[in-house]
Chain A
Amino acid sequence: MKSISAWHIFLLLGLFGLFFIFYQGLWGDPSALPPVIIKEPAPDFSAPELYEKENIVLSEHLGKVVVLNFWASWCQECKLEHKFLLALNKHYEDNTDFVMYGVNYQDEDRLAKAYLKQYGNNFEHVVDLKGKISIDYGVYGVPETFVIDKKGVIRHKHIGPIMGDVYSDIIKTKIDPLLAEGATSS
């Protein structure tokens, strides 16, 4: 070898850079990071309710804190969090500024209804059969939960089941402060 040219160095740097990224990538979970959608206005949707066949329109709930829970009857982890979701909705039962919807993700109506019959139900569910809403919200897998503030901005996202500490945390540090905020203040 006579001389080291610039392209040799570039090539080696490129290779090692690539190896570094790949190695680091192995330890990350591609679906664990917050998506850009946080602090963005929540994508609006208008989709039928599971039982009523009447459309639920998200933008009609401006001025309220909205919790969206993406779930499906074929999802095992959803079953774990379900009683916490029921408790969450019960917790805010008397607060008219709070509304919670389930988003039934790529499911069969029949199975979704059987699921709710078995595990109980106290809130309404939007049907998202094509996964259109889920794509808008960047949902990778169920369950995922979004908290939207009174101005219609997504403020919090949780991937995985809501249970135990996560449950008390979401009430104290996520939903309560948002309920305290005014619809017009920043």
Chain B
Amino acid sequence: MTVELGHFAVVIALVLSVVGISTPMIGLKSRNGTWVVVGRRAVIAAFVMLTIGMATLFYAYLTEDYTVKYVAATSNSKLPIFYKIAGLWGGHEGSLLLWAWILSLYCMLAVIIHWKSQPVVMPYLIMIESIILCGFLLLILFLSNPFERNFPAPLDGRDLNPLLQDPAMVVHPPLLYVGYVGLSIPFAFAMAALFSGRLGEEWIKATQRWTVFSWMALTLGIGMGGFWAYYELGWGGYWGWDPVENAAFMPWLVTTAFLHSTMVQEKRKMFKVWNLFLSILAFSLSLIGMFLVRSGVLSSVHSFAADPGRGIFILGFLVFMLLLSFGTLILRSGKLRSTVKLESMVSRESIFLVNNLFFLVALATVFVGTLYPLLMEVLELQKVSVGAPYYNAVFMPVALGLIFLMGVGPYIPWRKSTPTNIKKLFVRPLLIAVGALPLIYIFGVQKPYALAGLSVVIFVLSMITMDFNKVATFWAKRQKVNRGQGLVEAYKSNPRRISGIIIHLGVIILVIGVIFSSMYQAEKILIMKPGEEVTIKSFRFRMASLYSVEGINWGGKEALFDVYEGGEIIAQMNPQKRFYTVSQTPTTETAIYQLRMGHLFVTIPEVAPDGTWARVRILHNPLVTWVWAGGVLMAIGAFMNILRKTRRKRSPASESTGMLPEVTQKVAADVTAGAVQQTR
């Protein structure tokens, strides 16, 4: 019965989303703010209903109720509790419900947080978010219902895909969804700005933290996915340019561009239409990503089962959202003319412009690569698969350019800078970077791309160090503290800048990790019997033994390796070959030993049935831990940005452009009045 309760709750949530769409419209038409208050209540109630829906499914998982089709497909009585819960997002239906739930959570939080400060936005925000929610709930209830029952019920579930039975995989999808869905908030604010005609800087200021938060979640989600692929799939690599990875990477690229270009609008009131465009594009790409992953148009390692009915619905929804948003942008942005022009090509705003162009080129690269196979298919040309060589060839130069800009953008002055100015800023770091080249070469790094990458990295690092040194000294003098505390003072006085630079540092660390782990990776694949040895770089691997092991829901073989370096044993590693009994799937469990910030990585993809030999794959990935350390530092930087204290500068009526339609002003007044009533 509980699952039916959840099903019913989701049906009510659908009705509430329709209320959320219609009441703000009526409110705007009839100039009556009470309607918007009704919309607010609908949003909150929808969240409660969806939470009930989620809770009943969790209950079904925990009580092993395999009469529910979806539960039976993604769980099993032998699963540990942790993975029973994760089963909810182990398939198409449940993960959609999670999407919808996160969406309604975001919407509720945004409405509550901005209710008083952004009254004009509220009706539009409620309306836009409810439209998205309504679309998702229709898809869930009519085409991908996780509450459906199964008669007769199977005795036990078919088990969660063993590849997903992994801690990183439990958090990876929710993090990504938090990122994707979070982009709907800046999107809704941008739409509200277009509809209401309040096209100033206010929507950007209000949504800055939401955007950074979504960006942080996307960064962590993508990183976690890479980590999972690295050791669970046993690739030995963390990024494969798979369509699904690209689907997450594309919104990330646009959001990063957006976070940079909004700074220009805040400081210099430029790029107004561009910013509206980017915020719409970012959310559109997360919808496009969903279409690509769930409709079966592309083949990928992680795509969900294809179903043309679902594909058509998602496409219809996508067409509606994209035409609505980009159409509004076209119709309404005519009013916007940037009043400020670029004064000089040598200025921070022009660097930001180049930065945005680079990001868009990067996006185009990934977009074309992802859709190329589909395009070829539609044009009935020969089937191709676009792989890593294409991306490496096109993406790497763009990435290199973007990294270089990290050393320029934050330090060059706004408006205009003089040649002496430039000399003073950049000559020393450039000399350091060029001077370091022969040293790196002698040190053993001799591949052209690695050399180019490292010298750019050194340039940026010396820029960052010089700048940190300067601000730390300044604040240390001013507050009469030491320079470490000086840096803390600098963060307090300009948190956005310092947290931004910390994110840049994270990127630099990640790039160093990528350069070394991809270009200096060593690999050996061979058949080994117990007692045999193999040498890779300075390491000697000896297979000590090969034996059977058993887990709760799997059985398999394990090998024990003694690893020697220079005659001394430095580690024992035991990779496994597992076979999950319920779902009848084999998996390869990696053994990883961390050494000098790199990894020794061993898998046994194949074991002889009689247990006498195993096929062994050994990798040495130097500095690979820097990839994730960099990712974590990026997230920390973003978190510092979100946690900063806002300096409250009240700028209410003066900010409004005077173009504000009378209707919205009236509603705004009513909404505020309504809010006051509510709080009583």
Q: Which residues of A contact B (CB under 8 A)?
A: 1-3, 8, 11-12, 15, 18-28, 30-31, 33-36, 74, 106, 108-110, 113, 127, 129-130, 138, 140
> What residue in chain A is nearest B322 (Cβ atoms)?
A15
Q: Is the CB of B319 within 8 A of A34?
A: no
Known contacts A25-B377, A26-B308, A36-B383; A74/B584 CB under 8 A? yes
Answer yes or no: B334 CB below 8 A from chain A CBs: yes
Give the Cβ gap from B389 to chain A, nearest Cβ, in Å: 14
What chain A residues lie within 8 Å of B377 (beta carbons)? 24-25, 28, 30, 33
Query: Is the C-beta of B586 less than 8 angstroms from some C-beta in chain A?
Result: yes
User: Are B330 and A11 in contact (CB-based, < 8 A)?
Assistant: yes
Tell whether, in the assembled complex, residue B315 and residue A15 are in contact, meaning their CB atoms are under 8 Å apart: no
What B residues does A11 contact at CB under 8 A?
326, 330
Return the chain B residue nearest A131 by Cβ.
B605
| Assembled-state Cα–Cα distance A24/B586 (Å) | 36
Contacting pair B291 A22 (CB below 8 A): yes
* B534 at the binding interface (Cβ < 8 Å): no
Q: Which listed segment binds A: B181-189, B368-376, B478-486?
A: B368-376
CB<8 Å pairs between A and B, sample of 14: A1-B334, A11-B326, A19-B315, A25-B295, A25-B298, A26-B297, A26-B311, A28-B297, A30-B296, A33-B377, A36-B382, A109-B608, A110-B609, A138-B385
Are A24 and B378 within 8 A (Cβ)? yes
Cα–Cα distance between A130 and B296 once the two chains are bound (Å): 25
Q: How far is the CA of A108 from the CA of B384 in the complex (A)?
A: 30
B70 CB to closest chain A CB (Å) equals: 22
B615 within 8 A of A: yes
Q: Which chain A residues lie closer than 8 Å to B371 at the CB level?
A: 21
B315 and A23 contact, CB distance less than 8 A: yes
CB 8 Å contact bits of B299-313 with A (1 = contact, 0 = none): 100000000100110
Residue ID in chain A nearest B329 by CB atoms? A11
Closest 6 CB pairs of A and B: A25-B297, A33-B383, A129-B606, A30-B299, A24-B378, A26-B311
- Flag if A129 contacts B315 (CB, 8 Å): no
Least Cβ–Cβ distance between A45 and chain B, in angstroms: 13
> B374, A19: Cβ atoms under 8 Å?
no
Residues of B within 8 A of A8 (CB): 330
Which residue of A is nearest B579, CB measured? A108
Interface pair B323/A15, CB less than 8 Å apart: yes
| Known pairs A24-B377, A74-B585 / 15 extra A-B pairs, C-beta < 8 Å | A1-B331, A1-B334, A3-B334, A22-B297, A22-B315, A26-B296, A30-B373, A31-B299, A34-B383, A36-B382, A36-B383, A74-B584, A108-B579, A130-B605, A130-B617
Q: When A21-B378, A26-B295 are in contact, do A129 and B605 touch as well, CB less than 8 Å?
A: yes
Q: In whole angstroms, what is the CA distance A36 to B315 when docked?
A: 29
| Distance, CA A106 to CA B586, complexed state (A) | 9
B interface residues (Cβ-Cβ under 8 A, vs A)? 288, 291, 295-299, 308, 311-312, 315, 318-319, 322-323, 326, 330-331, 334, 371, 373-375, 377-378, 382-385, 579, 584-586, 605-606, 608-609, 615, 617
Which residue on A lies nearest to B381, using beta carbons?
A: A33
For residue B312, which residue of chain A has the nearest CB? Answer: A26
Instruction: Please name the residue on chain B nearest to A107 by beta carbon.
Output: B586
Please give, as numbers and ranges, the residues of chain A lying within 8 Å of B608 by CB-CB distance: 109
The winner among A3, A22, A127, A138 for most chain B CB atoms within 10 A is: A22
Task: Please measure, in the bound complex, the distance between the C-alpha atom of A34 and the C-alpha atom of B385, giving whole angstroms.
Answer: 12
- Give Cα distance in the complex from A35 to B291, angstroms: 24
What is the CA–CA distance of A23 and B288 in the complex, to the nearest angstrom? Answer: 12
Contact B315 A30, beta carbon cutoff 8 Å: no
Chain A, residue nearest B308 (CB): A26
The answer for the CA separation of A30 and B308 in the assembled complex, in Å, is 13
In the bound complex, how far is the Cα of B373 from the Cα of A109, in angstroms?
34
A15 touches B326 (CB 8 A): yes
Q: Which residues on B sit within 8 Å (CB–CB) of A74?
A: 584-585
Chain A residues near B586: list those with CB within 8 A. 106, 108
Cβ contacts under 8 Å, B297 to chain A: 22, 25-26, 28, 30
B135 to chain A, nearest CB (A): 16
Query: Would you give the shortest CB distance from B88 to chain A, in whole angstroms?
Result: 26
Write the chain A residue with the least CB distance to B292: A22
- Once the chains are docked, how many angstroms separate the CA of A160 from the CA of B434? 58
Q: How far is the CA of A41 from the CA of B318 in the complex (A)?
A: 42
**In chain B, what residue has the closest Cβ to A33?**
B383
Given the known A-B contacts A30-B373, A36-B382, A36-B384, are A12 and B606 also in contact in the complex, defined by CB atoms under 8 Å?
Answer: no
A101-B378 Cα distance, complex, nearest whole Å: 34
Q: Chain B's nearest CB lies how many Å from the CB of A137?
A: 12
| B299 closest partner in A (C-beta) | A30
* Chain A neighbourhood of B308, CB < 8 A: 26-27
Contacts of B331 on A, CB cut-off 8 Å? 1
Closest-CB distance, A9 to chain B (whole angstroms): 9
Across-interface contacts of A109 in B (CB, < 8 A):
606, 608-609
| CA A129 to CA B603, docked complex, whole Å | 13
Shortest Cβ distance from residue A162 to the other chain B in the assembled complex, whole angstroms: 20
The answer to whether A21 and B375 touch (CB under 8 A), given A26-B311, A33-B382, A33-B383, is: yes
> Which residue of A23, A127, A138 contacts B606 across the interface (Cβ within 8 Å)?
A127
> Chain B nearest CB: distance from A36 CB in Å?
5
Nearest CB of A to B170, in Å: 25
Give complex CA distance A110, B584 in Å. 13
Q: How far is the CA of A31 from the CA of B299 in the complex (A)?
A: 7
* Cα(A118)–Cα(B331), bound, Å: 68
Tell me which residues across on chain A come within 8 A of B378, comparing CB atoms. Answer: 20-21, 24-25, 28
Which residue of chain B has the shortest Cβ distance to A140 in the bound complex?
B299
Given A2-B334, A15-B322, A19-B319, are A25 and B605 also a contact pair (CB < 8 Å)?
no
Q: A130 — which chain B residues lie within 8 A by C-beta?
A: 605-606, 615, 617
Most chain-A CB neighbours within 10 Å: which of B334, B383, B584?
Answer: B383
Residues on A with beta carbons closer than 8 Å to the beta carbon of B323: 15
Question: How far, in Å, is B384 (CB) from chain A's closest CB?
Answer: 6
Cβ-defined partner of B615 (8 Å) among A31, A108, A129, A140: A129
Residue of A nearest to B309 (CB): A26
Cα separation A20 to B288 with both chains bound (whole Å): 13
Please give, as numbers and ranges, the residues of chain B lying within 8 Å of A24 by CB-CB distance: 377-378
Chain A positions within 8 Å of B617 at CB level: 130
Which residue in chain A gives the minimum CB-CB distance to B373? Answer: A30
- Whether the Cβ atoms of A22 and B605 lie closer than 8 Å is no
Q: List, in ascending order, chain B residues with CB within 8 A of A1's CB.
A: 330-331, 334
Q: Which residues of A contact B315 (CB under 8 A)?
A: 19, 22-23, 26
Residues from chain B with a CB closer than 8 A to the CB of A129 are: 605-606, 615
Residue of B nearest to A127 (CB): B606
Q: Are A30 and B334 in contact (CB under 8 A)?
A: no
How far does the alpha carbon of A57 sit from the alpha carbon of B150 in the complex, in Å?
A: 49
User: Which B residues are CB-close (under 8 A) to A30?
Assistant: 296-299, 373-374, 377
CA distance A74 to B579 in the complex (A): 13
Q: How far is the CA of A177 from the CA of B41 in the complex (A)?
A: 74
Which residues does chain A contribute within 8 Å of B374, judged by CB atoms? 21-22, 25, 30
Chain A residues with CB under 8 A of B384: 36
Nearest-neighbor residue (CB-CB) of B374 within chain A: A25
Closest B residue, CB atoms, query A37: B383
Residues of A within 8 A of B382 (CB): 33-36
Taking a contact as CB atoms under 8 Å apart, the answer to whether B319 and A35 are in contact is no
Complex CA gap A179/B384 in Å reads 29
